[in-house]
Amino acid sequence: MSSAHEASLLAHAAGLTRRGSLHTYLVIRWMVDRDLVEDGLRAYAYFRWLDDVLDLQLGERRQRLAMVKEQAELARRAFDGDFARPACAEEQLLQDLIHGNRSGHPGLTSYVNCMMQVMAFDAGRRGRLMSAAELTEYTRLLATAVMDGLTYFIGHDRAYPVHAARYSAVAGAHISHMLRDAVDDLQAGYYNIPREVLEAENLSPADMNARAYRRWVRGRVGLAEALFRDGKRYIRSVPHLRARLSGLAYCASFESVLGKVKRNGYSLRETGKGEAPRPAEGRSRPVPPAAAHGRWPSSPVADV
């Protein structure tokens, strides 16, 4: 690859990142290890692109799932040393990211693999009610991706402590994220409350002001707060200052979401940025409304 082409790709990655999330762009520029800044831009830009393709260009579930499967296979082959000819600039970013993988550090492999599984989960859940176990696994995958990515991109030369609370803060952040965006996600056909809760309480996903729904939200807020407490203790034990600063700032941004939910009496209608459609008169079963097109669920990519 010529130096001019490589510079053009990096400029493309920087532009995608800056437009996708200025906060993330600044974190990469100022907090990521100096020799990994370019790879940090490649990582965010690639998954931002994949997120947008799945959202805006592929309307059918089978198309979205096929796209994620294809991209996961491209990554697997690259990790095995097989760099097939990329179909676009963004696939080249993924391959360049993996080509620069620091041997002996599992963080990048975990980050890419778990993010692919997160993409697959969201690609398949539009218009479908998910079980509590499925949503818990979704949070686990996202938390693993973010935290293992942090160990790779920030302070990769110093081992992070091994502890049960290693992923707690990010799990708390994801729970907060899903509460914050529940209204907008509902309008697009994504449901952040488990199927079992809706069935047990005879609720629709749109019944966000119902007492039983708010009781569930209160439980989620309590869980997220407990995860943040454990997670912040872990983050303070990390040996690298930039990692501690990044992690604690990440927690603070989502803890503010929980404060807003509590001030609004655990009503997500008041907390969300949009307004959820009201359930049909007399609805007694959690039947999902028709999925809206043209919007991906609030993406974990955007806040990592």
If DSSP states are collapsed to H, E and C, what string results for 73-134?
HHHHHHHCCCCCCCCCHHHHHHHHHHHCCCCCCCHHHHHHHHHHHHHHHHHHHCCCCCCHHH
pLDDT value for 60: 87
What tokens were used for 149?
A: 């990515």
pLDDT value for 4: 85
Closest listed residue to residue 143, CA positions, set 52, 234, 23, 51: 234
267 burial type by CB count under 10 A (0-12 exposed, 13-18 middle, 19+ buried): middle
**Domain spanning 3-303: which CATH class is it, in words?**
mainly alpha
Instruction: Look up residue 188 and give its amino acid.
Output: A
pLDDT value for 271: 66
pLDDT value for 277: 43
Query: Domain limits of the chain?
Result: 3-303
pLDDT value for 1: 63
**pTM of the shown model:** 0.86
pLDDT value for 265: 94
Mean pLDDT, contiguous 10-residue spans, the chain (304 residues): 83 92 92 95 96 85 94 96 92 95 88 96 92 97 95 90 94 96 91 97 95 97 98 95 93 94 91 46 33 41 48
pLDDT value for 29: 94
CA distance 94 to 39: 9
pLDDT value for 57: 83
Instruction: Look up residue 291 and give its amino acid.
Output: A
pLDDT value for 14: 93
The residue count of the chain comes to 304
Closest listed residue to residue 201, CA positions, set 214, 188, 218: 214
Residue 264 DSSP class: T
CA distance 51 to 105: 26
